[in-house]
Structure 1
Amino acid sequence: MAIQRPPLFLPKLVTALRAGYGWSDLRRDAVAGLTVAIVALPLAMALAIASGTTPEKGLLTAVVAGFLISALGGSRFQIGGPTGAFIPVVYLIISRHGYDGLLLATLMASAMLVLAGLLRLGALLRYMPQPLITGFTAGIAVIIFTSQLRELLGLQVERMPGEFLPVLATLYAHLGSFNPWALGLALACIGLIVGLRRIAPTAPGFLVAVLAASVLVAAFGLPVETIGSRFGEIPLAMPSLSLPEVSWARLIELLPSAFTIAFLAGVESLLSAVVADGMAGGRHRSNTELIAQGIANAGSALVGGLPATGAIARTATNVRAGGRTPVSGMLHALFILLFMLLLADWMRYVPLPALAGVLVVVAWNMSEHRHFRHTLSAPWGDRLVLLLTFVLTVLVDLTIAIEVGMVVAAFVFMHRMSATVEIGAGVRVSDDDLLDPRGDPLPSQRDALPPGVEVFQVSGPLFFAAANRLDEVLDQFFKPPRVFILRTRLVPFIDASGVHALAKLAERCRRQGTVLILSGLQPQPREVLAQMGLQADGHWLHFAEGFDAARTLAETLAGQPLAAEVAGV
């Protein structure tokens, strides 16, 4: 009997409604949607202003694209809208090609995303090397921080350039207009956001800080710029549909920018969906997500919005707030629309230094400084990809950084492969070989395992193109095992992405009460694991010299209470 493939485009909303949707689900989705909308409201305005546009364009993007991404997407929990990753891209496109050029580039990117989904390319985006993602994300964080120095310092600059070094030169040339009130207000907002996260993690820190700063400015007449003083009133009416000017020359000119928008939208949305899957369980549909991203970006561009994608922090907030289905994301967009209609007259009092403080916190979160430092302890090839992508993102261009980073990562991989062949590894590296519970150990060996013990074997190099498949291993079991043996005898080498995948597997095992045993580690993987700090702890993670030693250890552990049970957890 032939296996029927699932439909190419089946939104999670349809699946959720088919499974049954009651008042309790709506109540939880409404609470989650309102919570996310409160977080997203100041962010949408801040991201739009930092991108070189007006605040209502960020709000429109959150409403239109946010609604479509949730309604049509392949994730139950995805929250879409403008994100920090787009700030340098959008700012450069507007400065070089005007806002009309941004709209055309966004429409081109939307077509690319829909085509990628129709061609079932969603799974390919999982093969991005982790050092490359960390490098360009940290680079974007530096650019966002630098772009906010004008507002943080209250400098009077008519128009900021789009490139990093000219930005620094312009800021230096205008230091004479420094406004200490602006810096003090921004630092107070940052301190309030950080403080609330520590003492009241569920409080909407961004909104509280912006509201407090707005009240201070309005009550005491502090000499700082506000949304009203720079942009005037926020329009209440939804804009009409409009199409940008199209010509072959303009399409070719904007092609690199469109590719960058499509790439960022695709990668960030799928990363956000993966984060949501890890927090709440389930599995997103990557190709459906790409198609939805394309449709949502087209909708945003047609109403005069900005590029949009899945927002990791807002999606995580949705999960933590109890969102059950894509209805929470749709309601989040409707709540933002309601805020626009009710609070438009008051938004003009929002001080720009307060929004700059919000984006400084966003940039710090985006930088992933701990992961950046951790990757610096990886093998030289991963460090090269990380630093090269980071430097090119900051100093040159994000598109070039991605292209060069991928090429260098490919060459590093080929170098590693050649080194592996030289020492006579003789291991196939096809996808079918990667995780095989049937090949080794033999059936008789598996039958000899005690109840509650499971074993899988990894064959081939555990590098960035294969590491993500480790996340699928535990999904094979109906009930989590007490002990899980992962045989690594046929893994000739491992890179930073492989270590990251093993660390995620170990953490997932720990959370579900499963002891993980890595058996048969070869010298290179053992050395890299030690180099990057992934060591046996004697409780949840053990190393064994071979399968016999691992089986003996598993028999002992399977007959003992788990550490959590001993502690009374």
Structure 2
Amino acid sequence: MVQQSERQATTTWRERLKLFFTLYDSRFEDLEKHNWKTTLYRDFSAGLIVAMTAIPMAMGFAMAMGLRPEQGIIAGALACIIGRTFGGSKYQVYGPTAAFIPLIASLIAKYTAITGSAEQAHGFLVVVSIIAGVVLMIMGISGLGKYAKLVPNSIVVGFTVGIAIAIALTNFEDILGIETVADTIGQDEDIKGGFLHNISAALHHLNFINIWSVVIGLSTFFLTRYLLKVSIFIPAPLISIAAATLASATLLKDKGIILIRDIYGTIPNNFFVFTPPIMPEFSATLVVDIVYFVTAIVFVSGVESLLCSSMADKLANNKRTPFNADKEFWGQGLVQIITPLLNGFPCTGALARTATSIKAGAVTPFAGYFKGVLKLVLAFYVAPYLEIVPMACIGGILLWVASNMIKPAEIKEVKAAGRFELAMLVYTAAMVPLTDFLTGVLSALIIYFVAIKLFPSLKQESTIKPTVVAD
């Protein structure tokens, strides 16, 4: 029985491979003859709620990465369908996540400058994502899923805080309304850059702040937070953006608020566009970059997805077959290979959307299928209206995402584990935005395990559980 093989430790790569190609497995065990109508209704409702929530978030993530808004829509839909087909979790919702923003943004910015084309930069992203996908699939076949759980909790939480800081401070120019200042004043400088560059550039253009953009951005932020406090079932980001867009198109029509179409033009609804891999001119720097970005994509995909799967089982109070870590690696690999080839980018398990799906009643992977399809259908019909969304709204949504990533309870748990754990949290949280994702995390891991090896007393017994990178 497939269910039995999943509960037992699979010891050979052949057994794992057979399991990976068994698509209708124990993830669907809660769909039974006596309850199939109720179960499918619950999955459909959950998929609809998550789809409405995910559209504006996916657009915001894509634009923060230096990509087009429609690429976020297709990435989220495809990743969820592929992940739910080949992944190892019953409940997990896949899509764009905040952890990938600094990583992909740095690749797109660097290779747009090198190649002179954002399309070619995206083609290089396809290259490294495919390689990362192959690595993840090999890791799944090799049974390496269990090792992702060895990442210390303090570094996971520190990484989360660092990403949140980077997102909040590198995208606040959208709220300030100075996104296209460099172009409007005839400069060649691009105001979207790295963490320190972006802060410096924004401070130099404070005299161009549009107060109405600030109102729109902060209103989006606070309305989203308020609606979610009323009920998690409310598609708060979509409602907040709709209200702010209506205000900017009527009451604030002539206030100089920057819209999505001012930067990206028309938003097409032909989402499926084949984007082939493109290799820039060969050099030693290119090889280093390939290793760097592949390693980073594998790390984020593996750790975040497995931790999210584990948390999903807890949230759903799953009493039956738990998620399969190795199959999750396999599914993540296919997500990273297929999604970028069809105009998307790397995605992984998304905690906030997974939690929303579970609380909205999701029972089986069909909820993920409904989410992916409904997201495409909704986006297809509202595409003409997406281009009139103010950029300040996107800034407000990203600010909400960043604030949602920092959880005082998680920081307190790390603090309770000892001063060394807290120091590692602070170090990681600072290094991620000040250097880059991989430098911050890898240096933290090296320091952590070397220090534990040399000074075993630093490692105190702790009952805290690994946390998940929020999206």
The alignment's TM-score, normalised by the length of structure 1, stands at 0.71
The residue that corresponds to 2:115 in the other structure is none
Among residues 61, 76, 80, which one is paired with 2:90 in the alignment? Answer: 76
Question: What letter corresponds to residue 190 of structure 1 in structure 2?
Answer: F
Look up the SS of the partner of 2:464 in the other structure.
Answer: helix
Give the drift of 1:255.
1.3
User: Take 1:20 and 1:205, find their aligned partners in 2: how far apart are those partners?
Assistant: 30
Residue range with higher mean Cα deviation, 140-149 or 150-159: 150-159
User: Take 1:189 and 1:19, find their aligned partners in 2: how far apart are those partners?
Assistant: 38
Determine whether 1:25 maps to 2:39: yes
Question: What letter corresponds to residue 290 of structure 1 in structure 2?
Answer: F
Determine whether 1:326 maps to 2:365: yes
Question: What pairs with 1:43-62 in structure 2 (closer than 5 Å)?
Answer: 43-62=57-76
1:499-542 deviation per Cα after TM superposition (whole angstroms, max 9, x unaligned): 31499xxxxxxxxxxxxxxxxxxxxxxxxxxxxxxxxxxxxxxx
Give the drift of 1:334.
0.3
The residue that corresponds to 2:259 in the other structure is 226
Among residues 420, 438, 463, which one is paired with 1:499 in the alignment? Answer: 463
Aligned Cα root-mean-square deviation (Å)? 2.2
Look up the SS of the partner of 1:499 in the other structure.
Answer: coil
Give the drift of 1:383.
2.4
User: Take 1:118 and 1:69, find their aligned partners in 2: how far apart are those partners?
Assistant: 16
The alignment's TM-score, normalised by the length of structure 2, stands at 0.86
Determine whether 1:379 maps to 2:418: yes
Question: What pairs with 1:281-300 in structure 2 (closer than 5 Å)?
Answer: 281-282=317-318, 283-300=322-339
Higher relative CO (Cα under 8 Å, sequence separation at least 6) belongs to 2
**How many residue pairs end up in the alignment?**
426
User: Take 2:240 and 2:256, find their aligned partners in 1: how far apart are those partners?
Assistant: 18
User: Take 2:290 and 2:274, find their aligned partners in 1: how far apart are those partners?
Assistant: 21
Q: 1:226 to 1:20 in 2, by over 3 A?
A: same
Tell which structure's C-alpha radius of gyration is larger: 1
More strand as a share of residues: 1
Give the drift of 1:412.
2.5
How many percent identity over aligned positions? 27
8 Å Cα contact 1:265-1:308 kept in structure 2: yes
Question: What pairs with 1:35-434 in structure 2 (closer than 5 Å)?
Answer: 35-97=49-111, 98-155=121-178, 156-158=181-183, 159-220=190-251, 221=253, 222-246=255-279, 249=283, 250-282=286-318, 283-376=322-415, 378-417=417-456, 419=457
Residue range with higher mean Cα deviation, 164-173 or 18-27: 18-27
User: Take 1:502 and 1:368, find their aligned partners in 2: how far apart are those partners?
Assistant: 14
1:370-394 deviation per Cα after TM superposition (whole angstroms, max 9, x unaligned): 4235534542321231122112101
User: Take 1:73 and 1:502, find their aligned partners in 2: how far apart are those partners?
Assistant: 21
8 Å Cα contact 1:52-1:91 kept in structure 2: yes
Look up the SS of the partner of 1:362 in the other structure.
Answer: helix
1:423-447 deviation per Cα after TM superposition (whole angstroms, max 9, x unaligned): xxxxxxxxxxxxxxxxxxxxxxxxx
Question: What letter corresponds to residue 25 of structure 2 in structure 1?
Answer: V
The residue that corresponds to 2:118 in the other structure is none
Residue range with higher mean Cα deviation, 5-14 or 388-397: 5-14
User: Take 1:187 and 1:161, find their aligned partners in 2: how far apart are those partners?
Assistant: 20
Question: What letter corresponds to residue 38 of structure 2 in structure 1?
Answer: S
Question: What letter corresponds to residue 272 of structure 1 in structure 2?
Answer: C
Residue range with higher mean Cα deviation, 370-379 or 310-319: 370-379
1:469-511 deviation per Cα after TM superposition (whole angstroms, max 9, x unaligned): xxxxxxxxxxxxxxxxxxxxxxxx41xxx231499xxxxxxxx
8 Å Cα contact 1:28-1:322 kept in structure 2: yes
For structure 2, the residue ranges without an aligned partner over 5 or more in a row are 112-120, 184-189
Look up the SS of the partner of 2:191 in the other structure.
Answer: coil
Q: 1:54 to 1:501 in 2, by over 3 A?
A: closer
Give the drift of 1:67.
0.8
Q: 1:169 to 1:13 in 2, by over 3 A?
A: farther
More helix as a share of residues: 2
Look up the SS of the partner of 1:297 in the other structure.
Answer: helix
Q: 1:191 to 1:18 in 2, by over 3 A?
A: closer
8 Å Cα contact 2:177-2:214 kept in structure 1: yes
The residue that corresponds to 1:513 in the other structure is none
8 Å Cα contact 1:163-1:395 kept in structure 2: no
8 Å Cα contact 2:123-2:279 kept in structure 1: no
8 Å Cα contact 2:28-2:90 kept in structure 1: no
Residue range with higher mean Cα deviation, 232-241 or 304-313: 232-241
8 Å Cα contact 2:220-2:240 kept in structure 1: yes
User: Take 1:13 and 1:273, find their aligned partners in 2: how far apart are those partners?
Assistant: 18
